[in-house]
Amino acid sequence: MEGCRLHIQFHGQSCFEIHHEGTRLIIDPFLKGNPKAKSKPEDIKTDYILLTHGHGDHVGDTVEIAKRNGATVIAPFELANWIGWQGVDVHPMHIGGAHSFDFGRVKLTPAFHGSGFIDEENKEIIYLGMPAGILLMLGEKTIYHAGDTALFSDMKLIGMKSGVDLAFLPIGDNFTMGPEDALLAAEWVGANTVIPMHYNTFPLIEQDGEDFVRRLKEKGIDGVALEVGNRIEF
């Protein structure tokens, strides 16, 4: 998967694997506990792992994958520190901050959600900082991974300032935006192409991805509802 184009694979929920010019990235690698995932943690070869927040369906198999690959985890400050304590190389960031890496530039954006590790056995919740979205600038392309979020008006600013080419937007409802709000988010972000995420993993967040894409196209926005395991070149 070499070359100037982006090679993107959807692993379900909010997990995307991206290859660009020899660098391998993965966002929110929730595989082992994902009933829809077709890949296992041991199948993943990556250089960097990017995390949006500390919920289990996003942190997922981060530590196992990072240790196996010697990968660096890029995450909001509190989450990065917690992951680092588990013997993983980390690069902490926070909302509004950007950093240039050898593969490109990363900027964290706001996301309206929660973030914490839930210890069911001890009935405790470990707070892991504020959730985030990710602006990922690779070559001439800018990807916006919104993370888990509600609709919020500053998405207009994200689109205006960043020139988003491709957006990953949650549509599952209940825990995040549903399709109606995600359609408005797509307009505000102004991305050329939108891929829905965070839906159909569990019954509570079942949605029709193809219908969402159809409604995007009615607004003049390209959309792709990727099946789990499928790849696109962008």
Please report the pLDDT score of residue 5 as a whole number.
86
Write out pLDDT tens, residues 110-128.
999 999 999 999 999 999 9
Q: Please state the rounded mean pLDDT for residues 193-220.
A: 98
Please say if the pLDDT value at position 106 is more than 90: yes
In the chain, what are the domain boundaries?
A: 7-228
Please say if the pLDDT value at position 174 is more than 80: yes
pTM for this predicted structure:
0.96
Q: Please state the rounded mean pLDDT for residues 156-179.
A: 97
Please report the pLDDT score of residue 4 as a whole number.
65
Q: Please state the rounded mean pLDDT for residues 61-71.
A: 98
Q: Please state the rounded mean pLDDT for residues 211-220.
A: 97
Please say if the pLDDT value at position 2 is more than 60: no
Write out pLDDT tens, residues 24-54.
999 999 999 999 999 999 999 999 999 999 9
Please report the pLDDT score of residue 36 as a whole number.
96
DSSP the chain: --SSS-EEEE-STT-EEEEETTEEEEES---TT-TT--S-GGG---SEEE-S-SSHHHHTTHHHHHHHHTPEEEEEHHHHHHHHTTT--EEEE-TT-EEE-SS-EEEEEE--S--EEEETTTTEEEE----EEEEEEETTEEEEE--S----TTHHHHHHHH--SEEEEE---SSS--HHHHHHHHHHHT-SEEEEES-SSSGGG---HHHHHHHHHHTT-EE--PPTT-EEE-
CATH of 7-228, one of 1.10.1790.20, 3.60.15.10, 3.90.1260.10, 3.40.50.170: 3.60.15.10
